[in-house]
Structure 1
Amino acid sequence: MSEAGETVRIVGISGSLRRVSFSTALLKVLAERAAPAIDLEVVTLEDIPFYNEDLDIDPAIPAVAALKRKVTESDGVLISTPEYNHGIPGVLKNTLDWLSRPVFESCFKGKPVSIISSSKAFTGGVRAQYQLRETLISMHAHLVMGPEVVVGGVYRHFSDEIYTDEAGLLFMLKSLERLRETVVGRRVMVV
């Protein structure tokens, strides 16, 4: 079986609601420049309501059910998040709370996941990335190992909505390829 051309479906989740979000823009750049064997669908979280266990019933809230279905049907997930006050944005944590249900059987259980964090500061969101990893571990996600992808001074890397840091983009694409390799490797192990 040839692994080189085997296509994987990745859901790219942006942790920012901002209309001109850097997190969303990074995912869109990666979707455009990804290898042909990577189908990256970018999703945003505008329609996800605040988590309330009273509302976590059947039938599910349509936006939540749709996102759970996308994650379940995907081969892997790429989360792109900004860092707010040394942590992940509330909208992302809120969404993960929805997606973590049912406990120990969420759509993230065993799902290969990679992370990109960004910040206007030079640190690139390393504290948000740590916090996000802790949450994903509690959800039993399969975190893809490798160098952490952090984009410091993210605003300096865009000009007219075009990402200008070619070396940084190549680094992110290598991380995306590691995610793909993890997915394909897991398929081979199942066969």
Structure 2
Amino acid sequence: MTLKIIALSGALRRASYNTALLRAAAGMAPEGVTIALRTLHGIPLYDGDVEAQGIPEAVTTLREEIRAADALLIGTPEYNNSIPGVLKNGLDWLSRPSGEGAKLFGGKPTGLIGATPGGFGTVQSQDAILSVFRTFGSDFWMAGRLMVSHAGKVFNDDGQLVDDKVRGQLQQFVLGFVGFVQKRSA
């Protein structure tokens, strides 16, 4: 059985540390597991007037990819001690129309990692996002969280993970999360 995990980056920046972290995680997927990287590019700012005209195609496409996946892995930056607006906006769109969040994320095995140039990792962003996913009823993997500090030293200019300690932590995280997902899929 092949497991498919959607890795959703909460950043839009081309050189995003979180996208790089998810890309590195995808490269560590064990045999029989695919980790497919997705971003929130193309999703407009949430506006009820836009929603009344129909859910944007970028939202529908991402929603169907998440729905078809066995699990979701989110890479979140931390802005102003909380969830970045682009990630919260994407989650708001994915939860529309009302009730869709519970349908999409309810029971979905979900993991969380994050990287930041600062010294405190993404602890406050990760704590804040738990509240959102609790509302959705996600099956959140609480045995592991990875918060990468000083990301500018962990990745090179090409976005490659160059820190052996973080590489080991990420490998342990990926294997633990995959194990969690496999138990839920059995």
Superposition TM-score, scaled by structure 1 size? 0.89
**2:85 is equivalent to residue 90 of structure 1:** yes
Aligned-residue CA RMSD (Å): 1.6
| Structure 1: distance between partners of 2:122 and 2:136 | 21
- 1:24 counterpart SS class: helix
**2:173 is equivalent to residue 175 of structure 1:** yes
Could you say which residue in structure 2 is the equivalent of 1:3? Answer: none
Could you say which residue in structure 2 is the equivalent of 1:78? Answer: 73
What amino acid is aligned across from residue 105 of structure 2 in structure 1? F
Could you say which residue in structure 2 is the equivalent of 1:144? Answer: 141
Could you say which residue in structure 2 is the equivalent of 1:51? Answer: 46
Say if 1:146 and 1:175, in contact at 8 Å, map to a contact too: no
Runs of 4+ in 1 over 6 A off after TM superposition: none
State the number of aligned residues: 183
**Alignment deviations for residues 14-42 of structure 1 (CA, whole Å, 9 cap, x no partner):** 11111111111111111122212220111
Say if 1:118 and 1:154, in contact at 8 Å, map to a contact too: yes
**Alignment deviations for residues 133-158 of structure 1 (CA, whole Å, 9 cap, x no partner):** 11111111111021321001011111
| Structure 2: distance between partners of 1:52 and 1:110 | 27
Shift of 1:56: 3.0
Could you say which residue in structure 2 is the equivalent of 1:63? Answer: 58
Identity %: 32
Residues 111 and 15 (structure 1 numbering): CA distance in 2 closer, same or farther, change over 3 Å?
A: same
- 1:171 counterpart SS class: helix
Say if 2:116 and 2:151, in contact at 8 Å, map to a contact too: yes
What amino acid is aligned across from residue 130 of structure 1 in structure 2? D
| Structure 1: distance between partners of 2:122 and 2:102 | 29
Say if 2:118 and 2:149, in contact at 8 Å, map to a contact too: yes
Find 1:20's aligned residue among 11, 15, 22.
15
- 1:35 counterpart SS class: coil
Q: Which runs of 5+ in 1 are unaligned?
A: 1-5
Could you say which residue in structure 2 is the equivalent of 1:100? Answer: 95
What amino acid is aligned across from residue 149 of structure 2 in structure 1? G
